[in-house]
Structure 1
Amino acid sequence: MSDQLDGKTVGIVLAPRGSEEAEFTEPRDAVTEAGASVEVIGVETGEVETVNNDLDSAGSYEVEKTFADASVEEYDGFVVPGGTVGADILRADDDAVEFVHDFFATEKPLCVICHGPWTLVEADVVDGRQLTSYHSLETDIRNAGGDWVDEAVVVDEGLVTSRNPDDLDAFCDKVVEEIEEGEHEDRETDDV
């Protein structure tokens, strides 16, 4: 365990169902091992079940706070896992979309993987940004004004994106690095 993130609090999302387990647990474990405290945020509190490969049931985890009850000021970084169903549920939830939009405006690290960038598109924060995602989101991101690239992990002024579970090692390393770095005052947020 290191002390890179001592004193920092990281919010990690879980959808009511369909979040990809490894995309939740591996970033959670990486920031915890680096010394951060973690709070799990979702649409509703209580136990939720994650999935493996979108279809197979995985573990059950506790959502501690709803988006409506959370404040962007409470967190030094925020992680949005993928999972096709989970990401689709989140992008259709007004509180989740508003939270992601407002968190992006804080200039603090926002870390999103796989299908999670659907929420970024819905939050209207990808215009002019370079990012990656699961390949099937390329057109959605480009249509929203983003510059989609096919790379394991992309960092654009504290916006950390990654393609899929195969890229989790690179993603987790960047998540820790960017949260340690803190706010990115150069990130253009005037138009969000």
Structure 2
Amino acid sequence: MAKAIEEAKVLIIVQNWGIEETEMTRPLRELKTAGAQVTLAAASMDPVETVQHDRYEGETVQPDTTYDSVKAADYDLLVVPGGTCNVDRLRVAPAAVKLAQDFAHAGKPIAAICHGPWLLVNAGLLPGKTSSSTRYIKADVENAGATQVDEEVHVCDANGWRLISSRKPDDLDAFVGAIKDTLAE
């Protein structure tokens, strides 16, 4: 873990479209403003097209790299934003699944919001964990072996790695705050 947020290296992984806008842009910008080195990794180097409420056009952001070209060893924390279409594709991308597994197996924290925990379902990382997520994937999270809670942010340190999870965009203050607290430890 980084000794200070200014020394922290954060990786955000997304597909190139269908990401819930604020669930990507708020952590990206607020962590950078706090001094962290933040890398946005997408499926390709094409612009990342976000959406608002899975439906309306959002901001377009240029990724820094692709998630198949990065290694967990080079980062301190992984962020998985939501967006139904984003995570539905992310969770079946072998490189994204492996990245999540590599972070957890190295004892590094993962922060997932809204549909983000879907990636962790497919990565087989949720047995014994407690997670908050959107209510739409509650059954998936529970069937994957986790306890689902309805909280704006939940931090779970079970199984040797930290999971920071939240339900929806309204929880972003608590979600980003928990990420900052974790990076400052």
Output the TM-score relative to the length of structure 1. Answer: 0.90
Question: Contact conserved, 1:130 with 1:146, CA < 8 A, in 2?
Answer: yes
Provide the C-alpha distance between the structure 1 equivalents of 2:105 and 2:59, rounded to a whole number of angstroms: 32
What's the offset of the Cα at 1:128?
0.4
Structure with the larger helix share: 2
Question: Contact conserved, 1:8 with 1:37, CA < 8 A, in 2?
Answer: yes
Provide the C-alpha distance between the structure 2 equivalents of 1:87 and 1:9, rounded to a whole number of angstroms: 22
Q: From 167, 179, 182, give the equivalent of 1:178.
A: 182
State the SS of the aligned residue for 2:58: strand
Question: Contact conserved, 1:48 with 1:63, CA < 8 A, in 2?
Answer: yes
Question: Contact conserved, 2:13 with 2:67, CA < 8 A, in 1?
Answer: no
Q: Which runs of 5+ in 1 are unaligned?
A: 182-192
- Partner residue, 1:61: 61
Question: How well do the aligned residues superpose, as a CA RMSD in angstroms?
Answer: 1.3
2:27 maps to 1:27: yes
- Partner residue, 1:185: none
Q: Post-superposition, which runs of at least 4 consecutive aligned residues in structure 1 deviate over 6 A?
A: none
Provide the C-alpha distance between the structure 1 equivalents of 2:148 and 2:84, rounded to a whole number of angstroms: 18
User: Structure 1 residues 30-39 or 144-153, which shifts more?
Assistant: 30-39
Question: Contact conserved, 1:152 with 1:163, CA < 8 A, in 2?
Answer: yes
User: Structure 1 residues 38-47 or 137-146, which shifts more?
Assistant: 38-47
Provide the C-alpha distance between the structure 2 equivalents of 1:16 and 1:163, rounded to a whole number of angstroms: 22
2:24 alignment partner AA: F
Alignment of 1:1-150 (within 5 A): 4-150=4-150
What's the offset of the Cα at 1:27?
1.0
Question: Contact conserved, 1:46 with 1:64, CA < 8 A, in 2?
Answer: no
1:163 alignment partner AA: R
Question: Contact conserved, 1:128 with 1:147, CA < 8 A, in 2?
Answer: yes
Provide the C-alpha distance between the structure 1 equivalents of 2:179 and 2:8, rounded to a whole number of angstroms: 13
Q: Which runs of 5+ in 2 are unaligned?
A: none
Output the TM-score relative to the length of structure 2. Answer: 0.93
Provide the C-alpha distance between the structure 2 equivalents of 1:161 and 1:16, rounded to a whole number of angstroms: 22
2:141 maps to 1:164: no
Provide the C-alpha distance between the structure 2 equivalents of 1:118 and 1:31, rounded to a whole number of angstroms: 23
State the SS of the aligned residue for 2:126: coil
- Partner residue, 1:189: none
What's the offset of the Cα at 1:178?
1.0
